[in-house]
Chains A and B, each alone.
Chain A
Amino acid sequence: MSGNGIGYGEQGGEVAPELAQEAAPTTAPSVPAAFGLFSSDTKKNEDLKQMLESSKDSAKLDAMKRIVGMIAKGKNASELFPAVVKNVASKNIEIKKLVYVYLMRYAEEQQDLALLSISTFQRALKDPNQLIRASALRVLSSIRVPIIVPIMMLAIKEASSDLSPYVRKNAAHAIQKLYSLDPEQKEMLIEVIEKLLRDRSTLVAGSVVMAFEEVCPDRIDLIHKNYRKLCNLLVDVEEWGQVVIIHMLTRYARTQFVSPWKTDEDVGDEYNENNFYESDEEQKEKDRKVKKTYTMDPDHRLLLRNTKPLLQSRNAAVVMAVAQLYWHLAPKSEAGIISKSLVRLLRSNREVQYIVLQNIATMSIQRKGMFEPYLKSFYVRSTDPTMIKTLKLEIMTNLANEANISTLLREFQTYVKSQDKQFAAATIQAIGRCATNISEVTDTCLNGLVCLLSNRDEIVVAESVVVIKKLLQTQPAHHGEIIKHMAKLLDNITVPVARASILWLIGEYCERVPKIAPDVLRKTAKSFTNEDDLVKLQILNLGAKLYLTNSKQTKLLTQYVLNLGKYDQSYDIRDRTRFIRQLIVPNEKSGALSKYAKKIFLAQKPAPLLESPFKDRDHFQLGTLSHTLNSRATGYLELSDWPEVAPDPAVRNVEVAESAKEWTAILSKTKKEKPTEKFYSESEEEEEDSASTSATESESGSESEKERKEESSSNESSESSSSTGVSSDSESEESTEKKTSGAAEESDSEDIKKKAKEISKSRSTFSSSDTESSSSEESSSNSKSESDSNNDSDTEKSRNATSSKVTTQVFVPTKMHEMLHRMTGKGLSAHYQFSRQPCIFGDRMVSVQVTLTNTSDQKIENIHIGEKKLPPGMRMHEFNPIECLEPERSVTVSMGIDFCDSTQTASFQLCTKDDHFNVNIQPPVGELLLPVTMSEKDFKKEQGMLTGMNETSATIDVAPQNSTSRVITERLMKAANLGVVPSGQDKIHRFAAKTVHSGSLMLVTVELKESSTAQLIINTEKTVIGSVLLRELKPVLSQG
């Protein structure tokens, strides 16, 4: 091999000079230096190629490192492509990674060669390790080669239903990449986005919303169903995802809810209500709460409440995102909470300060009150960069009012003296604005500015002149003295703007300074030719005005000036001269206008409005690039106005059954992955979710529920009038709701609950994929879901015949186990039950639903899990603390416990704000299992492998009424979480399951014998559990 390498090197060595000879005649001989460089470059690359060919990883690595160095410096390394791409399948991770870096950079340029690498990634996409799958997808989608679009599409689709949330996250990223590569895939991609939006993992949420924003930001309808989920997940999404989601939700909320601001303006204006509320329901509600003028949609409130904690984020972008959300969505009275956090950001780096100050500037124009308490935080330090200084100044000016103006002016005085003259000039303008806005201080400001006229710095003086001019215009009454003073200054000031301002002032008020004005004209006429254009125009103006008021003294002078202007180089000035001459100098040609010359020139002019330059920025959404630039950036999405009438809020209600089904389908579909390493992985699925949704439900649901209750009161007579909607719900539903899955809590509308009830009822009557008899009894909806799962398992079977599948549970036990009695719990009672769902916190955990009820008459705060005393190996995923539980309310939360396939007790402390109680959860052995479907053939095959000491059996008596297959199935399933295996023999019933922790198979056979006995056989590797299970199942069939 090494000989080979040398051979190649020699060859390379020969090639280079050859090339040189060939190329020599074509290149101009005058540039030998460049040529030399070229040849040395090839040589260098030759040796890199050689290293890449070498058999040693270290040489390859060295070469790759040098190549990456070249890429980093922006040097072209594309000609090494063939040599590099060969190493894509290298065993060495670092080489592999560097090859990936190279591929992503150059694949676009070398499309054909890049195809060589594709198969490697395709293989890796099937890898059992989720991280390898994810990185393969990442690189594959980063290779911008149009030919592989179909492959990418396929990979994305597959990855979007991967079991690992991390892979799904990468799929969401890949969507954007594919979209930018081939926008024609949009429709298909939207489907994937829709699917991923339903994902409950916090890992995925941010990325998929990003994809949504990029691909189809106008498809707001996709968000409806996911709105509440996104709100609830938000706190746990990684910070970058939070920013994206918050911005998207801001846009969404502006289209879906009515404005909370109107009431601010119409407080007490009850006659107006009819205009705002049109629907009948709202009208009814109004009758009930006459005083209340506006009720916020509970979903609107949900968003505001769930974003508020994020103001505490360490990430400035998140804080800003929440701030803009509150600014654009919250009632004006609540928006104030953002100011503190924004002011905190001012401690951050210069760039962050810059953006935040810009946004504060816009806000402070509209709502001064928000930032007034923080006025001192905007005081300027001499070390601030100029742009920060000017922004701070801007904000201080916006915040100025009668109360704080004196302090502010004192502060401004310091700034005027600043060595940073640009800043000093800006301060003078700020003083001018304060003076016009607050009439009480106008005189003080004016005096101060006049003092500045004697400043040594020209820029300061010039700026003062300009500002004084504006100020005088607002109140021209009594300022002859100042004008005289300024006329004197004209001799010394050279800044054109200032000179022009003085001239304008003198012209405008020439009647007040009748002696000085003509003299000024005389002086300026002398220097006319040397003046700036701006000044020339004002000289002409002055001349015209004097001509009209004091033509005796100035007629000649004006004509002289006009003559000069006539031959000026600037056409502006020539134009103006011509215009003025026609207007003021009477001659036969002059039209009707000249009669009005005096009116035209000496009209009362409106005072200029001194406005903040941030005034016009408020039509951009805060916190956006467009706002910063004050111009529409590419891809800026306009924030729509509030709708007059809110669109139907029911669109956000989530169909429980559907989502649950979907989810379990996904789970069962992708379950083939066997966790090889001990990853945290799937535990990522949101824990807080169920807890927080149910909590919010109890609060936010109350209002809407009340309405709906009225409608449905006829059917639900049992609901007592004394208790509130929610608690009565939970009571009446207690038995049924327990059976619904954790996801079922998502709903907060009554009708959906009813639906869920139906479904859970049908679930509770046992049904399985093969018992035909049951389906006739089932409602149509159930048979549909059943057939779904049937199809599912069918396709699975055909694809992967021997592997066993975890199926959805077919029976959920209703039995509640007591965890904490209300007497010992001082009013707090807790029950738990096993939902028999695959646990969302980790696939080795058993999911346990805990129902907490407050039976006391005081609210119980902060319910959480305290110290845990778990046997070794056992793990527990706690439910999120419940902030507050109102009296007579109950909350169901789910937690996951990894019992390590043992029936040991999990002991822990259930804590409230003031107390803690020791509680236990002990699982019946039947709950440590997950049902598995398999064919009879597979069952027998597996059973054959689990004989000998893996088999335990017993003969049992079977009560006569228990001998039908239906009853047997029902009873066994009640006792343990088993899956039914279709059986060809009447007398033999087979059930299969696997243990939750280790996934070992658990095969149960019931063989009916003569004289009402039966043989019960259990085959499993886990003999201990097997025998415990046997013991538990024995009495099940014998009892009557």
Chain B
Amino acid sequence: MIHSLFLINASGDIFLEKHWKSVVSRSVCDYFFEAQERASEAENVPPVISTPHHYLLSVYRHKIFFVAVIQTEVPPLFVIEFLHRVVDTFQDYFGVCSEVMIKDNVVVVYEVLEEMLDNGFPLATESNILKELIKPPTILRTVVNTITGSTNVGDQLPTGQLSVVPWRRTGVKYTNNEAYFDVIEEIDAIIDKSGSTITAEIQGVIDACVKLTGMPDLTLSFMNPRLLDDVSFHPCVRFKRWESERILSFIPPDGNFRLLSYHVSAQNLVAIPVYVKHNINFRDSSSLGRFEITVGPKQTMGKTVEGVMVTSQMPKGVLNMSLTPSQGTHIFDPVTKLLTWDVGKINPQKLPSLKGSMNLQAGTSKPDENPTINLQFKIQQLAISGLKVNRLDMYGEKYKPFKGIKYMTKAGKFQVRT
């Protein structure tokens, strides 16, 4: 399936290549560069490119293009999903997935890639198994390795690959047994000029960090499982149990993993926790424009809105902006025309605002459209859909684990049209 993989950085250098079948010359990437040139931005490079003898499927993450070379028909999502899994694995291993990191750890990267695919077909993609095979580099281990001469390659064999629960290592031991679950909900919304909601939906995930000894069998139940409209599970979740009882029953992987992602059914009205008041004016005649936005809390269920960040892509005609914020800091990049305002916490008594003027390029006509405002925010201890975990039980092991559940609401793709 997957013939070769090329990693290409932002400046167009191929800094890593790996072949699983016969070697494919790196000149095949020329077709990719061509397409990259045609697309003005990296975002617009088509993920699937056809060349006379090969097909190039790419994903773009962390400013790196991961280009897979394919020779025959294959479901494109298969390759794309796999490439994303590769990136996730790197991130898991090195903390960040950057060119420098990959170059520094080229041997580990190579070993990991070797295990992930056999003859172009995925072999081990569970990070738990991979970590058993090849230990991720940590500072401590690097030091120890240089002193003792031991290696990163695990001397155990990957037993997980053979078991019925391939996602879990065997023989896990912890002194503190803990299981944390984060219920994170994101609001995707488009708000129109007048402040009314065009579309809004809630997407949620439950991320878990489970550090439990042995082979625990967990069940997690909700107070109001009906809220969940469309769910997708980590493979560890027993689907039939969910179908019949709406209970999540699973033997968890070791460490961090995403247990569940869900969509809250569309019948429920989505509470929009913030509003934006805006007054952006380009005047036809003068080269000055007015810019004024205020952010305020709306249905927040009494919680504070934090981590508010406003970004807006200004039209090309804007040369510069002179603004004063009532709180937080703001930056306008005159090259990319991106305005960023880091607001911080919203104080309901004193609403944060950003006011000032814009300098427009002389002679150009005024832009048709006012810029859209993208909003980011966080609300701790609140799941905006009202989802609540009822209880978490553990079977199969004797000890009492420490359990914790955290709720959070964030802005997903939250846009305000002006």
Which A residues are within 8 Å of any B CB, using their own CB? Answer: 57-58, 61, 65, 68-69, 71-74, 92-94, 97-98, 100-101, 105, 108, 129-132, 138, 141-142, 144, 164-166, 170, 173, 176-177, 180, 203, 207, 210, 235, 238-240, 243, 247, 309, 312-317, 319-321, 340-341, 344, 347, 349-352, 354-356, 373, 376-377, 379, 381-383, 385-387, 411, 414, 417-419, 455-457, 623-626, 628-629, 631, 633-637, 679-681, 683-684, 687, 861-862, 864, 867, 880-881, 883, 913
Chain B residues near A683 (CB-CB < 8 A):
163-164
Residue in contact with B72 in the complex, picked from A247, A316, A386, A635, CB distance below 8 Å: A635
The answer to whether the Cβ of B125 comes within 8 Å of any Cβ in the partner chain is: yes
Assess the A68–B81 pair: CB atoms within 8 A: no
4 further A-B contacts with Cβ under 8 Å, apart from A101-B110, A105-B19, are A73-B17, A173-B123, A240-B125, A880-B240
- Say how far B70's CB is from chain A's closest CB, in angstroms: 7
Closest CB in chain A relative to B114 CB, distance in Å: 6
Q: Known interface pairs A98-B107, A354-B47. Does A680 touch B76 (Cβ–Cβ under 8 Å)? A: no
- Quick one: which of A173, A381, A386 contacts B121, CB cutoff 8 A? A173
Closest residue of B by beta carbon distance from A880: B240
Check: B221 CB closer than 8 A to any chain A CB. Answer: no
Decide: B106 and A72 in contact? CB cutoff 8 A: yes
12 A/B residue pairs, CB under 8 Å, sorted by A:
A65-B107, A72-B109, A93-B153, A180-B21, A312-B239, A314-B233, A316-B80, A317-B81, A376-B199, A684-B163, A862-B240, A881-B244
Q: Is the CB of B162 within 8 A of A352?
A: no
Complex Cα spacing A610 to B313, Å:
34
Mask: chain B, 64-93; 1 = CB below 8 Å from A; 0 = not: 000000111111111011111000000000
Is A129 in contact with B157, judged by CB distance below 8 angstroms? yes
Q: Which one, B326-334, B363-371, B384-392, is touching chain A? A: B363-371
Please classify the interface of chain A as helix (H, G, I), strand (E, B), loop, or mixed, using the class held by over half of its residues: helix
Q: Is the CB of B163 within 8 A of A344?
A: no
CB distance from A55 to the nearest CB of B (A): 13
A98-B107, A387-B44, A681-B162 in contact; A344/B263 too (CB < 8 A)? Answer: yes
B290 at the interface (CB under 8 A from A): no
Q: Which residues of A contact B232 (CB under 8 A)?
A: 312-314, 319, 341, 344
Residues of A within 8 A of B199 (CB): 376-377, 379
Of A73, A93, A144, A913, the residue contacting B151 (CB under 8 A) is: A93
Q: Indicate if B33 sits at the interface (CB-CB under 8 A).
A: no
Q: Which of B212-254 contact A (CB under 8 A)?
A: 229-235, 238-241, 243-245
User: Is the Cβ of B234 less than 8 Å from the Cβ of A314?
Assistant: yes
User: CA of A796 to CA of B143 in the docked complex: distance in angstroms?
Assistant: 53
- Which 3 pairs show the lowest CB-CB distances between chains A and B? A635-B72, A680-B163, A417-B369
Contact A382/B313 with A108-B22, A629-B50, A913-B244 known, Cβ cut-off 8 Å: yes
Q: Is the CB of B48 within 8 A of A72?
A: no
A166 engages B161 (CB within 8 Å): yes
Q: Is the Cβ of B149 less than 8 Å from the Cβ of A57?
A: yes
Question: Would you give the shortest CB distance from B162 to chain A, in whole angstroms?
Answer: 5
* Listed residue (B14, B110, B203) with the most chain A CB atoms within 10 angstroms of its CB: B110
Chain A contacts for B149, CB-based, 8 A: 57-58, 61
In whole Å, how far is B278's beta carbon from the nearest beta carbon of chain A? 14
- Chain B residue, CB-CB nearest to A165: B162
Decide yes or no whether B37 CB sits under 8 A from chain A. Answer: no
B26 contacts chain A at the CB level, 8 A cutoff: yes
Q: Which of B59, B76, B190, B315 contacts A349 (CB 8 A)?
A: B59
Chain B window 299-319, contacts with chain A (Cβ cutoff 8 Å), 1 for yes, 0 for no: 000000000000001011000
B18 interfacial contact with A, CB 8 Å: yes
- Known contacts A105-B23, A684-B162, A684-B163; A235/B119 CB under 8 A: no
A70 (CB) vs chain B CBs: closest residue = B106
B60 contacts which chain A residues (CB < 8 A)?
350-351
Considering the complex, which residues of chain B in the window 173-203 have a beta carbon less than 8 Å from any beta carbon of chain A? 188, 190, 192, 198-199, 201, 203
Interface pair B155/A210, CB less than 8 Å apart: no
| Residues on A with beta carbons closer than 8 Å to the beta carbon of B74 | 625
Give complex CA distance A655, B153 in Å: 46
Give the chain A neighbours of B58 by CB distance below 8 A.
Answer: 351
Q: Are A344 and B230 in contact (CB under 8 A)?
A: yes
Decide: B315 and A240 in contact? CB cutoff 8 A.
no
Are the CB atoms of B151 and A321 closer together than 8 Å?
no
- Are B73 and A634 interface neighbours, CB within 8 A? yes
- Would you call A131 and B158 a contact (CB within 8 A)? yes
A317: B residues at CB distance < 8 A: 75, 77-78, 80-82
Interface status of B16 (Cβ within 8 A of chain A): yes
